[in-house]
Amino acid sequence: MDNSQNQTPATTNFIKNIIENDLQTKRHTTIITRFPPEPNGYLHIGHAKSICLNFGLANTFNGTCNLRFDDTNPEKETEEYIQSIMNDVSWLGFKWHGEVKYASDYFDKLYECAEYLISQSRAYVCDLSFDEMKLTRGTLVNVGTNSPYRNRNADENLLLFRKMRDGEFEDGTKTLRLKIDMSSPNINMRDPIIYRIKKIHHIRTADKWCIYPMYDFTHCISDALENITHSCCTLEFADHRLLYDWIIHHLVNDGIISHTPRQIEFSRLELQYTVTSKRKLNELVVNNLVSGWDDPRMPTISGMRRRGYPKDGIHLFINRCGVSKSPNIMDLAVLESSVREVLEGNAKRLMAVLNPLKITLTNFDETIGSKKSPFHSKHENMGERMVELTREIYIEQDDFMETPIAKWQRLSLGGEVRLRHSYIIKCDEIIKDDNGNIIQLNCSIDKNTLGRNPEDRKVKGVIHWVSVTKSIPCIVRLYDRLFTKAEPDHHTSDFKQLINPNSLDEVNAYIEPAVNTLHPEEVVQFERLGYFVADRYDFNLTNKTYIFNKTVGLRDVWKN
């Protein structure tokens, strides 16, 4: 696939400055970046930042960006995750260079590099268990202890490593470690593991391998083999850069590989009132706390898509977050503001009633007219639909108050209000049930007010409505924050205890007949209520199932 789209970072940042300098000084003539996800879950908003950055940098500097799956941990990786990641990158508007790449494409070369390091006494086979290794690793204030197997000679290590490859040892009994420095102040340099035994079927290499390289070893060599110029990753990998450079330095100096990539770190993006860990998101899925990876409450790209967030809104949000080394924990309101800004000029308007109160128009007769109204008052190209008034209509219960408060501009007993796209009506009578609950209003129409205001008085209020007989029943899913705390990871050992029990509410609603002009994933504004998306799976005109997910309200309602 070619890298030919126009989504680029809107503002400058320190990584762009580095690249500009590299081009000016002729350190590089072509820019090659990469996006290297592990296919062990669906991508989330943090990955969206990395996608926009890496592909955006390539676009800005007329370079290329590779999509490379880090498939070195076969017990957690699936084809479902691979396909979902490819779909997410494409949906965001990006195209990777050439064919999709995989770390497993380089397993033979990685093995060759490992054997070479063994031959140079820079790697050794260790028999310590993972627990024993942890005890000898040391701490930030205490140096580590050398493994008793550290001084095996190269020939013995080569023989043992080949036996590991051939499946002669059980999982966890041996590892291959680099021989660097157990007294290094950087714990990542204290003889890190670069291979471990895992007798697990791999989704691409099947049962060819029973040893798999670790991320730190795989990633830097894969970058080098793909001629990556700038390997951008999040800040948790900053302490790993010394190891990245150590591996590349020795292999390049000895002519085993020929290219030296550069690792650059930036702060990861986190969003309040959710979690951005694939492990924790997976817990929500497997414990049925959400409906799946694409549940609209999830911060996954597929979840945001199903909620109706437009890709341009996500791009706008990412640009507003910026790229730096400072903490990047964003308020949910910033994301919703970006989404709202994009939808304002792109979404049709329809009327829907979510909490209906019935009105009978007592003086309705055949002289009452209806009118065509545009789907968007500022965009005639969106077309128009007929808004047909009938004797019985629904309004929102919240739009009526029996005893109105000061400055009330909606309907009340004896008061008037305009029906959106229609007439002014007056409430003449309230009908209640035996418990005193209002169940119906009787109102009269001012028949001279279709498309014009009365000359003798001002009626300020305008409310939305739908016809009882013409409207179409639908289901609307209303969403609140997924967690009750802004940073759920910081309040309890089990973040799941902070799940908001009221994060989803389904209501039976009514929508005007023009709903039949919509298609799955189309976002519309329910007038006066917010933006709603026709669910990509559950909205079906053929089966007459009309299910909407609330995307965002018309204004920020989050108050801490």
Orientation angle between helical segments 332-344 and 311-321, nearest 10 degrees: 130
Summarised one tens digit per residue, pLDDT across range 364-402 is 998 898 889 999 999 999 999 999 999 999 999 999 999
Q: Which amino acid is at 149?
A: Y
CATH number of the domain where residue 410 is located: 2.40.240.10
Q: Which of 107, 40, 44, 43 is nearest to 77 (CA)?
A: 40
Q: Is the pLDDT of residue 431 over 60?
A: yes
d(CA 414, CA 444): 10
Q: Is the pLDDT of residue 102 over 70?
A: yes
Torsion sign across C-alpha atoms 240, 34, 221, 247: negative
What pLDDT sits at residue 4? Answer: 38
Catalytic annotation, pick one of 165, 174, 179, 268: 268
Who wins on pLDDT, 8 or 88? 88
CA 14 to chain centre: 24
CATH number of the domain where residue 125 is located: 3.90.800.10
Domain that holds residue 376: 355-469
Q: Which amino acid is at 537?
A: Y
What pLDDT sits at residue 5? Answer: 44
Which of 180, 214, 248 is at the close of a domain?
214
Q: In terms of C-beta density within 10 A (0-12 exposed, 13-18 middle, 19 or more buried), how is residue 486 classed?
A: middle
- Give yes or no for a contact between 539 and 548, defined as CB atoms under 8 angstroms apart: yes
Summarised one tens digit per residue, pLDDT across range 249-276 is 999 999 999 999 999 999 999 999 999 9
- 539 lies in a domain? no
Q: Which of 432, 430, 509, 428 is nearest to 465 (CA)?
A: 509
What pLDDT sits at residue 557? Answer: 57
Total tally of structural domains belonging to the chain = 2
d(CA 444, CA 427): 7
- Give yes or no for a contact between 499 and 545, defined as CB atoms under 8 angstroms apart: no
Q: Is the pLDDT of residue 8 over 60?
A: no
Q: Which amino acid is at 3?
A: N
Summarised one tens digit per residue, pLDDT across range 150-174 is 999 999 999 999 999 999 999 999 9
Which of 447, 469, 491 is at the close of a domain?
469
Q: Which of 530, 477, 474 is nearest to 506 (CA)?
A: 477
Q: Please name every residue paired with 438 in a beta bridge, in sequence order, or none if there are none.
A: 432
Q: Is 34 a catalytic residue?
A: no
Return the structure tokens found at 482.
Answer: 């997924």
Q: Which amino acid is at 458?
A: K
Q: Please name every residue paired with 34 in a beta bridge, in sequence order, or none if there are none.
A: 66
Q: Is 278 a catalytic residue?
A: yes
Q: Is 447 a catalytic residue?
A: no
Percent of the chain with pLDDT over 70: 97
Q: Please name every residue paired with 175 in a beta bridge, in sequence order, or none if there are none.
A: 126, 196
Catalytic annotation, pick one of 38, 112, 283, 522: 38
Using alpha carbons, list the distances in angstroms from residue 209 to 78, 110, 157, 164: 17, 12, 18, 10
Summarised one tens digit per residue, pLDDT across range 216-248 is 999 999 999 999 999 999 999 999 999 999 999
Q: Which amino acid is at 553?
A: G
Kindly report whether the global pTM for this prediction surpasses the value 0.85: yes
- 125 lies in a domain? yes
Q: Cα angle at 346 between 343 and 349, to 5 degrees?
A: 90
d(CA 526, CA 546): 14
C-beta neighbour count of 557 within 10 angstroms? 11
When pLDDT is averaged across residues 317-324 and rounded to a whole number, the result is 96
d(CA 182, CA 186): 9
- 390 lies in a domain? yes
CA 18 to chain centre: 28
- 312 lies in a domain? no
Q: Is the pLDDT of residue 340 over 70?
A: yes
User: Buried b vs exposed e over 1-34: b needs ≥16 C-beta within 10 Å?
Assistant: eebeeebbbeeeeebbebbeebbeeeebeebbbb
Return the structure tokens found at 384.
Answer: 């128009």
- 292 lies in a domain? no
- Give yes or no for a contact between 169 and 197, defined as CB atoms under 8 angstroms apart: yes
d(CA 480, CA 423): 35
d(CA 412, CA 409): 9
Q: Which amino acid is at 141?
A: V
* Backbone φ, ψ for residue 243 (5° rounding): -70, -45
What pLDDT sits at residue 9? Answer: 46
Percent of the chain with pLDDT over 90: 93
User: Buried b vs exposed e over 243-256: b needs ≥16 C-beta within 10 Å?
Assistant: bbebbbebbeeeeb
- 179 lies in a domain? yes
Catalytic annotation, pick one of 122, 179, 278, 418: 278
Which of 421, 438, 469 is at the close of a domain?
469
Q: Is the pLDDT of residue 11 over 80?
A: no
